[in-house]
Amino acid sequence: MAALIPAHTVLISVGSNLGDKLDNCLQGITALTKGGLARLEGVSRFYRTSPVDYTDQDWFVNAAVKITTNLAPPDLLRHLLAIQQQMGRKSGGIRFGPRVLDLDILLIGDRVMRSPDLEIPHPRMHKRAFVLQPICDIDPAVIHPVLGRSVADLLNALDDADQQIVPLAHQPMLTKGGLS
């Protein structure tokens, strides 16, 4: 049974580079809030993004969402992993490789935690344009709780020309209630 704690704000990265990438992301966001375990508070634009680390793969579609939830961090992680599995993601494979759906917890308020299964803030978020730009769409003043810098500052400090990020021409309309 999931442990419930006082409501907290969570930023989650959403991505896909297999199949109908945008639809995979939208289905993942819908599944995240289905059943009342999380409430959608904000959503970024959707972007086409070049792969990072393992570059011999198709480009991704990425976004970020802001939710509130009463789930404890380990239970939220289990919820995200279950959604990925339901969408057809297999465990194993190439690290940073192709995926139907990727849901990563980036920040939980100003919480800092490290366990074998979960590290908050996400350990590579400050190095990823495909994470920082979508968070900036939601709130550029969000402070990285370890680095003490805003996500806008971290994005501006990135010096990696290989990380390409292009807004999708057609942006789906997502509201706090879901797709509209």
Residues with catalytic roles: 89, 99, 102, 104
User: 17 — alpha (psi -120 to 50), left (phi > 0) or beta?
Assistant: alpha
Cα separation, 18 vs 125, in Å, equals 22
